[in-house]
Amino acid sequence: MKYKNIVIAGGGILGSQIAFQTAYCGFNVAILIRKDDSKEELQNKLNKLYQTYVETIELMSTEKGKANSNWARGIASIENFNKKECLEKAKKALDKIVIITDQELALKSADLVIESITENFDAKIAFYKEIAPLMPKKTVIVTNSSTLLPSKMAKFTGRSEKYLSLHFANTIWKNNIAEVMRHNGTANKYFKEVIEFAEAINMIPLAAKEEKSGYLLNSMLVPFLLSAMDLVANGISDPETIDKAWTLGTGAPKGPFQIMDTVGLETAKNIVLQYQKVPNIFDPLLKKMMLPYNYDGMLDILNKYIEKGKTGKSAGEGFYKYNK
């Protein structure tokens, strides 16, 4: 794996995190966005990520920080932790990330493109068609899609053999997993290279042996979130009570609506829209045991929040209020 120049397409919650973590690990990183007037907002996200890394590193240098719940494995292993070096790497990461809107300029020397734009099939296809003629022959492209199958989008990249999925979890400096999923046309060479890249940015690569919507993590998470929204859509209970049922009943740190605030309500909406189009996600036996999900009710709820600008934690408010 000889990757050096990495382009992150999209500066959302995960896009900015992937960019910062990649730069922290020494790669040259450019974030490709569409509008110049979005640069300031994205830079603010990166500044906040830098502060988060600094605060996390400071905590890791204390006895309290050595607890498993506080240790950030993406920043350093406990055996190789050096506070000064980690702080220097975080500062260099902030200084070296380039934000760019010129596609041709961003892609001309890219070794790897990590597509992390909105979770929408048509939007991704349109983007691939735009960048396909601009990428050098050497460029490998991966999608950070949480649910869409790479085989359905591969041909639009113009390099099916160099295209696959690389999906990250939120707060990747702590939850340092990266799901790597190939499609039937992915060349084994590039599948191995992407796994090596994931390791190089301090992720634990999780290889999916067969293509599946939702990979490993979201195959379990998405039905969980849909079930929670369905309870609200059908008037059974409210988000806060449902979150309490989950956190108090299982000991989990976050309930489903707190998780949705973290990933963003726009992402939650796109997931609902996708699953709404797939009526047979349950096997026949399970469908006999339960009523179909109230997708229209879920979308009504999410749209009411989104229309008011309450799109989640990054906006300061979603199902809950946050300090920005």
pLDDT tens per residue across span 94-118? 999 999 999 999 999 999 999 999 8
CA distances from 184 to 147, 152, 160 (A): 17, 11, 9
Could you tell me how many residues make up the chain? 324
Give CA angle at 8 (319, 268), nearest 5°: 20
> Which pTM does this prediction carry?
0.78
Nearest to 267 by CA among 217, 208, 222: 222
184 pLDDT above the threshold of 60: yes
pLDDT at 281: 45
CATH architecture of 5-208: 3-Layer(aba) Sandwich (3.40)
State the span(s) of the chain assigned CATH 3.40.50.720: 5-208
The model's pLDDT over 24-33, given as tens digits with 9 standing for 90+, comes to 999 999 999 9
* Per-residue pLDDT band at 275 (split at 50, 70, 90): confident
Please report which helix (H) or strand (E) contains residue 121, including its range: helix 121-131
123 pLDDT above the threshold of 80: yes
pLDDT at 291: 55
59 pLDDT above the threshold of 60: yes
pLDDT at 286: 46
The model's pLDDT over 228-239, given as tens digits with 9 standing for 90+, comes to 999 999 999 999
Instruction: Say what angle helices 13-24 and 39-60 make with each other, to 10 degrees.
Output: 60
* Per-residue pLDDT band at 217 (split at 50, 70, 90): confident
- Looking at per-residue pLDDT, the higher value among 280 and 221 belongs to 221
State how far the Cα of 199 lies from the Cα of 21, in Å rounded to an integer. Answer: 12
Q: Which two tokens stand for residue 73?
A: 């494995």
Give the domain 219-315 fold: N-(1-d-carboxylethyl)-l-norvaline Dehydrogenase; domain 2 (1.10.1040)
pLDDT at 324: 64
State the span(s) of the chain assigned CATH 1.10.1040.10: 219-315
- Mean of pLDDT values over 293-300: 93
